[in-house]
Amino acid sequence: MKDKIFIFLQYIIPHSLTSRLVSKLAESKNKHLKNYLINLAIKKFKIDISEAKETDINKYTSFNNFFIRELKDGLRPISSDKKIVSSPADGVLSEFGDITNGSLIQAKGKTFTLKALIADSSTTDFTKFATIYLSPKDYHRVHMPIDGKLTKMVYIPGKLFSVNKVTAQNVDDLFAKNERLVCYFNTEIGEIAVIFVGALLVAGIETVWHGKVAPNYYKDIQIWNYDNDSFNIEFKKGDTLGWFNFGSTVIVLMPNNNINFKYNQSNADISVNQDLALIAE
C-alpha cells in the first residue's frame, strides 16, 4: 500500500515546480540552513563523509556544493587496461545487458525502447546498455567510462519521476519519460552515449564543458554539436563529465557485441572507475 501511495503522489504533484523549489533551498548559502541540511542528509542517508576530499561541512558553500563533493585522491582506482570499460558512477547496477529488438530492460517485466530513450530513430548501432542508479548517499559525479571525444549533446525535456527501484518497477517507460541529457562520444569501439536521467527532487544536471543544463525552461529538444573543427573536447577514461545535484540515474549505451559485462546479475553495488565490462578481441 505504501508503494502505491508513493507512485500515486508522483502522478499528482507538479514535478518541475517541486524540483525548482528544492533547487532554491539546496542552493541557499545561509550557513545555518545549509549545515542543517547537510547534517540531516549525512544522518538520514548514512553518507560516509570520510570519503570526501573535504570533510569539514562548514567549508561547503551550500547543500548542492556538498552533494557534488569530490572524493579523496586515489579512493576509486581505475584500470589502465584499454580493454576495460569502467563504471561512470557510484551506485547500484540496476540493469545491464543486450539491447534486444530495440528495447532495454527497465526492471523485471518492464522494457522501454532505445528510440524513445534518445528521441532518435536513426541510431541503431547501440547493442549493449548498463543502468546505474545513484541514491542520495552516493558520490554524485559522473565519469568517462572509456577514452573518447565529445561529438554531440542532446537535452530532452520530460517528467521528473523518482528513479528508485519502486518507481522503476511501477512506472512504464520511466527513463524515456523523465528529463534527460544524452552525451555522445566517439571511441575506439565506436559511438557510445552517456545519459544523465533527471529525477524528482534532483536540483540540477551540469557538465564540465557546458555548465548547468537543468533545471531550465526549454520546452523542446535542444541539440549541441561538437564535431566540427572549432571543438576538440576529449576525455580520458575516468575524467569527470558532470554531476547531479541529488540522486538519479546514468545509462551507458555501447555499440559493440564483443563487450562482456563483468557482472552476473543486476542490482549489484558498483563504484565509479570499477571494471564494468571487458572489450573482447
In tens, the pLDDT along 113-152 reads: 999 999 987 777 899 999 999 988 999 999 999 999 999 9
Read off the C-alpha cell for 224. 549541441
% of the chain residues with pLDDT over 70: 93
Determine whether 248 is an active site residue.
yes
271 is catalytic: no
Q: Is residue 54 part of a domain?
A: yes
Give tens-digit pLDDT for 38-55: 999 999 999 999 999 999
Shared domain for 57 and 93, answered yes or no, is: no
- 143 labelled catalytic: yes
10, 74, 110, 214, 218 from 158: Cα distances, Å: 14, 37, 19, 11, 10
Which pLDDT value is given to residue 251? 98
Q: Which of 51-60, 86-95, 214-223, 226-235 has the lowest mean pLDDT?
A: 214-223
Contact 267, 254 (CB under 8 A): no
Q: Is residue 62 domain-shared with residue 99, that is, in the same domain?
A: no
CB 85 within 8 A of CB 185: no
- Contact call for residues 273 and 78 (beta carbons, < 8 A): yes
**pLDDT at 21 (0 to 100):** 74
Same domain for 239 and 126: yes
**Residue 148 contacts residue 187 (beta carbons within 8 Å):** yes
Q: Which pLDDT score, from 0 to 100, does residue 16 have?
A: 66
Q: What is the mean pLDDT of residues 229-239?
A: 92
Among 38, 67, 96, where does a domain finish? 67
Average pLDDT over residues 98-106: 93
Are 144 and 7 part of one and the same domain? no
Same domain, 106 and 168: yes
- pLDDT category of residue 1 using cuts at 50, 70 and 90: low
What per-residue confidence (pLDDT) applies to 14? 65
Question: What integer pLDDT is reported at residue 97 of this predicted model?
Answer: 94
Flag whether 76 is in a domain.
no
Of 23, 87, 90, 138, the catalytic one is: 90
Cβ–Cβ contacts within 10 Å for residue 136, how many? 17
Which helix (DSSP H) or strand (DSSP E) does residue 11 occupy?
helix 2-12
Mean pLDDT of all residues in 142-165: 92
Same domain, 136 and 28: no
Q: How far apart are CA 208 and CA 230, in angstroms?
A: 17
Whether the pLDDT of residue 10 is over 70: the answer is no
The SS3 call for residue 246 is coil
Global pTM reads 0.92
- Alpha carbon separation from 55 to 35, 66, 135, 237, 244 (Å, rounded): 13, 10, 20, 26, 20
| pLDDT the model gives residue 203 | 56
Report the pLDDT value the prediction gives residue 147, as an integer from 0 to 100. 98
The range of the structural domain enclosing residue 36 comes to 2-67
What is the mean predicted confidence (pLDDT) over 169-189? 92
- With vertex at residue 145, the alpha carbon angle to CA 251 and CA 41, rounded to the nearest 5 degrees, is 60
Most confident range (mean pLDDT) of 103-107, 118-122, 159-163 is 103-107
User: Do you find a cis peptide bond into 14, omega within 30 degrees of 0?
Assistant: no
Between 246 and 237, the more confident residue is 237
User: What is the b/e burial string over 165-200, where b = at least 16 CB atoms within 10 angstroms of the residue's CB?
Assistant: eebbebbeebbbbbbbbbbbbbbebebbbbbbbbbb
Mean per-residue pLDDT of the chain: 90
Residue 3 has pLDDT above 80, yes or no: no
pLDDT for residue 8: 65
Residues 57 and 106 in one domain: no
- 95, β-bridge pairs: 131
Whether residues 89 and 167 fall in one domain = yes
Residue 79 lies in a domain: no
Number of domains in the chain: 2
Q: Residue 265 — pLDDT band, cuts 50, 70, 90? A: confident
> Which listed residue (62, 87, 140, 143) is catalytic?
143
The answer to whether position 197 is within a domain reads yes
Q: Are residues 39 and 163 in the same domain?
A: no
The pLDDT of residue 7 = 72
pLDDT for 199: 81
Which pLDDT value is given to residue 19? 66
* 213 found inside a domain: yes
- Is the pLDDT reported for residue 77 higher than 90? yes
Q: What DSSP line would sit under 93-122, residue for residue?
A: EEEEEE-BTTEEEEETTEEEEHHHHHT-SS
147 and 11 housed in the same domain: no
Contact assessment for residue 214 and residue 198, using Cβ atoms and an 8 Å cutoff: yes
Residue range 104-116: average pLDDT?
A: 91
Q: Are residues 238 and 132 in the same domain?
A: yes
Do 54 and 93 fall into the same domain?
A: no
Q: Is the pLDDT of residue 67 over 80?
A: yes
**Distance between CA 36 and CA 43 in Å, rounded?**
11
- Alpha carbon separation from 182 to 70, 77, 144, 195, 239 (Å, rounded): 23, 26, 13, 4, 17
